[in-house]
Structure 1
């Protein structure tokens, strides 16, 4: 059975990336572009290319993803960066891992294509955070997953609250607490099509901001919270 998939793409000024992403989406994969305050016409471009466009005025990665989840209707969802660093052509292989199970969450592990795709300071911060995540022994990951594949209802059942850059870590911590079966698969990680750096992890300051958000979430999640529902 071929599943319909909603692909949630948090978007802030990604006009250069959207045509490439939309052209490479597999059949039965619907793009939900969550515009998070773009000033370059990303929302208009996405709509013109056939995406469902959702506007989320509250800035933050988590806010954008949650808005996309609220708009999604497919049973199966992909959450993916909207900067063309991940090739949508690789998504069916990740989806197959989930569908063939028994797996609850599939996380992409970045494998850089070229030196420019992933700055050293961002790699180091990611490795440290992934190591902290693994300390509890429930989930062993090498990356904090720029692409994640899950069933929509259980994902909503995690009741995620972070609306900033700690959102991916909160997802993994609550999935671990809920006893989810989490696996990691390689994905190619490419330079951005316009040659620019990531607005967040492409700079040392941005990487520090993300790391601070994630450490804040890690401390908060050390306290008991409600689990997920299946």
Structure 2
């Protein structure tokens, strides 16, 4: 069970974990029991109607409500609500194991990197649909042309310093938020690294890249960021 932390007690935990959530009641128990000991889970409910918020609260997570729909809106609401110096982001659909977050956060905590991204490695053929992988590869190529960064993934598991992330002035509140973070971090001269993480079949229905249409909207959002 995730420990409940008094929101008025600053820096009582070394890392806050932001978990954007839209109807993830099926996955939440698995996800929350894997949050590293001593770290705080911030479940950002983005308008769920399946009881996700109540379930997360019952499991000991700190729940943040963000009524404005959008992946970026949920991520940024979690960043604003965070109190720890280091913040991690992780999907809430059980496709990524929060037990791996210390590996992702270690270079940031040690001062060796400013932003670390989890490079997804699918463990089964169905974990990462072909259309989603193709869209991700196209974005990685566009990112390289724009910044010179040779990243192979723009995955949702990542870690950085809270104040520095806020200082990037992120404005995208849709699916372009992760890419805008990388672009602005690169422009600011940040040290950006990738760490390989297993990618599992998600639980429940995907709201973003689970369909060709969702992938198309995501790529368009991110193209807008690059423009």
TM-score (norm 1): 0.91
CA distance in 1, matches of 2:38, 2:85: 12
Question: What does residue 29 of structure 2 align with?
Answer: 19
Equivalent of 1:160, from 170, 177, 181?
170
CA distance in 2, matches of 1:180, 1:152: 14
- Pairing of 1:37-116 with structure 2 (within 5 A): 37-116=47-126
Quick check: 1:171 aligned with 2:181?
yes
RMSD of aligned C-alpha atoms? Answer: 1.1
Residue by residue over 1:139-184, the C-alpha shift from the partner in whole angstroms, topping out at 9 and shown as x without a partner, is 2200012111001000000010001111011001000100000000
1:16 shift after superposition: 0.6
Give the conservation status (yes or no) of the 8 Å contact 2:70–2:174: yes
1:99 shift after superposition: 1.8
Q: Which runs of 5+ in 2 are unaligned?
A: 1-12
Q: Which runs of 5+ in 1 are unaligned?
A: 220-230
1:88 shift after superposition: 0.8
Question: What does residue 204 of structure 1 align with?
Answer: 212
Equivalent of 2:141, from 120, 131, 134?
131
Question: How many residue pairs were aligned?
Answer: 215
1:9 shift after superposition: 0.5
TM-score (norm 2): 0.92
1:197 shift after superposition: 4.3
What secondary structure sits across from 1:116 in the alignment?
coil
Equivalent of 2:221, from 208, 213, 220?
213
CA distance in 1, matches of 2:32, 2:158: 18
What secondary structure sits across from 2:180 in the alignment?
helix
CA distance in 1, matches of 2:202, 2:177: 23
Residue by residue over 1:55-112, the C-alpha shift from the partner in whole angstroms, topping out at 9 and shown as x without a partner, is 1000001111111111100000001111110001111111112222321000000000
